[in-house]
Structure 1
Amino acid sequence: MKLSVIIVSYNAMDFLVKCLDSLQKHLPEDSEVIVFDNNSPDREIENIAENYPSMQFILNPENLGFGRANNRAVSLAKGEWVLILNPDTIVYQDFFPALYIYADSVENLGAIGVRMLDGNGDFLPESKRNIPSPYASFSKLFSWFNGVGKRYYNETLQPNENGKVEILSGACMFMKKQVYEEVGGFDEQYFMYGEDIDISYSLLNLGYQNYYLGEVYITHFKGESTVKDEKYLKNFYGAMEIFIEKYHKPKNPFLYYIMLAGLKLKHKMEKLKLKK
């Protein structure tokens, strides 16, 4: 089998149906779709599974988080290639052909990401990012921070251009299954958020190159299925803490503690906003 599309779902049933409908229309032959549901409270997932008999549904009895669930699903995948895809996305007719053509045209491929547009058709800058260095991290967390160095988002490529990038989005990530397994999949320390940054950086550390394909796009209803509450903030900033401890603390403990203090400050600021 050539391709396995992996979708980890959690309580986003309306979005998931739109995603699966788009895949039914445009999925190439010799492909499979594996939907791994992380014990969604909305049991509509059971009815959805019945409506897509050609797709494989795994209704897990507990919420494993994004990374662990993807790793379990990929371990069952039969495809030479895997596409990690969010349930709140829609793919279009030229999506899969463009991925294959571009993958054949580049060297030393780690993973490919594509141009993502939100529900209003606006470009999502997380489609292409830089390694979150101390400078890039502070420019992301604090809009007033300005210095010298790469910013959090990659600004060297235009949204509709193709080229090398450092960090891709886990909402849409295409790679060889063999490469996914070589890098160890997603780091299961993360429950949600940060896994895509980590695996992108790990691919670079193994000597692979990540690429951005701006010629095609998908719709990603980013954040529309996510409740922004204290649990969300804990997961988000907790993931960032894991990343900087893993990659920055060993190299420069002084900068690590500065970054950690900045993260904790920003986390507190966001929690205060929720109470207003």
Structure 2
Amino acid sequence: MSAAVVSVIVVSYQTRELIVRALSMLRASRPTVPYEVIVVDNASTDGSADAVSTAFPDAQVVRLAHNVGFARAVNVGAARASGEWLLLLNPDTELVDDVLGELVSYARTHPEHRVYTGRTLHADGTDDGRSVFALPSVWGYLCFAAGLSTVFRRSRLGNPEELPGLDRSRPGPVPAASGCLLLIERSLFTELAGFAPDYFMYSEDIDLCLRATLLGARPVLVPGAQVKHVGGASSTSVGKRVMVLQGKTTYLRLRWSRPRAAIGRLLLATGIAIRAAGARLTGRAGYWRGVWAARRTWLAGWPPVSELPPVEIVTPADR
């Protein structure tokens, strides 16, 4: 068997049906480059790890004793990888054709980028606009606080975070790529010490791209690499939004100065407060009221890694 060129890392948490389907579609896509699969299971109780081991005996399945989130789980998988490239893939994705071959082919002819992503699609095949993002900025948070990013969602000026004016049909550099579908040199990932372990979920990919860029990488969108993304498989509406905001405020804590981070948190809180007030008045989008009620949680961000328990790997017999 040929040595792996790509190590596909999938983090699983309560996604038994989805991950088996995703890996089945990966196999059915007949990748034109040798690959290995590493699944890191975050202490699922739905039999995800056993299902993968049974259906894909060649896959490495790493079972964690506790749910340590996405960032630290990926780091566990990357430490076991042998490929030249790491491909991070969400379990709630369906590959469209040979995604691995498409990404690696582009990476080999454009090695200066070092970080690559593709397009994430809705079920109907239209782009969901969630594979690439701008780096956080005061202006972007001001637009969120003022509601401009909602009212003028298709405006580059009013909604800078989502890059609405980007032509996703052509290859081109992007500020940050989503960890849902992300190819990165394993040597670069190692040089960066992987994802910052302070993140449980969300914004760890933006943080990684920022740090990679500081080392000379140029993240790029490869439009021929496409996956359909179910999205939000393990999160409630309010719960997901709270976690997204925890990721954002963790990024502010780690990457912005204290005064700038304080401004960022204030603008985020203002934006949520306005949306919660609007939900109360109109009776619509009531989830914002729940998000506002949880503001102490997300304003604090994820706990620093110094306060987290160590990652513990178990064997099936230990469970």
User: Same fold judged by TM-score > 0.5?
Assistant: yes
CA distance in 1, matches of 2:250, 2:288: 19
Q: Residue in 1 aligned with 2:134? A: 130
Whether the 8 Å CA contact 1:192–1:236 is kept in 2: the answer is yes
1:223 aligns with 2:232: yes
Number of residue-to-residue matches in the alignment: 272
Q: List, as ranges, runs of 4+ consecutive aligned residues in structure 1 with deviation greater than 4 Å.
A: 145-150
- Which of 10, 13, 18 is residue 10 of structure 1 equivalent to? 13
User: In structure 2, do the counterparts of structure 1 residues 44 and 199 end up closer, same or farther at CA, with 3 Å as the change threshold?
Assistant: closer
CA distance in 2, matches of 1:45, 1:141: 42
- Which of 23, 28, 37 is residue 25 of structure 1 equivalent to? 28
- TM alignment of 1:88-103, pairs within 5 A: 88-103=92-107
- The Cα of 1:143 is off from its aligned counterpart by 3.4
Q: Which runs of 5+ in 1 are unaligned?
A: none
Report SS of the residue matched to 1:91: strand
CA distance in 1, matches of 2:46, 2:271: 32
Report SS of the residue matched to 1:152: helix
The structure whose Rg is larger is 2
Greater Cα offset, 14-23 or 115-124: 115-124
Q: Residue in 1 aligned with 2:255? A: 247
- The Cα of 1:98 is off from its aligned counterpart by 1.5
User: In structure 2, do the counterparts of structure 1 residues 141 and 180 end up closer, same or farther at CA, with 3 Å as the change threshold?
Assistant: farther
1:191 aligns with 2:196: no
Whether the 8 Å CA contact 2:117–2:177 is kept in 1: the answer is yes
CA distance in 2, matches of 1:91, 1:148: 32
Whether the 8 Å CA contact 1:139–1:152 is kept in 2: the answer is no
Q: String of CA shifts for 1:36-65, please: whole Å, max 9, x gaps.
A: 010112124313321211211112111111
The amino acid that maps onto 2:28 is K
1:143 aligns with 2:143: no
- The Cα of 1:245 is off from its aligned counterpart by 2.2
User: In structure 2, do the counterparts of structure 1 residues 29 and 110 end up closer, same or farther at CA, with 3 Å as the change threshold?
Assistant: closer
The amino acid that maps onto 1:56 is Q
Q: TM-score, normalised by structure 1?
A: 0.89
- Aligned residues: percent identity? 26
- The Cα of 1:141 is off from its aligned counterpart by 6.0
- The Cα of 1:166 is off from its aligned counterpart by 0.8
Q: Residue in 1 aligned with 2:289? A: 272
Report SS of the residue matched to 2:162: coil
Report SS of the residue matched to 1:229: helix
1:235 aligns with 2:238: no
1:119 aligns with 2:123: yes
CA distance in 2, matches of 1:49, 1:138: 47
Q: TM-score, normalised by structure 2?
A: 0.78
The amino acid that maps onto 1:242 is T
Q: CA RMSD in A?
A: 2.4
- Which of 265, 268, 271 is residue 263 of structure 1 equivalent to? 268
Q: Which runs of 5+ in 2 are unaligned?
A: 277-286, 293-319
- The Cα of 1:94 is off from its aligned counterpart by 3.1
- The Cα of 1:248 is off from its aligned counterpart by 2.3
CA distance in 1, matches of 2:47, 2:272: 33
Report SS of the residue matched to 2:25: helix
- Which of 49, 58, 62 is residue 58 of structure 1 equivalent to? 62
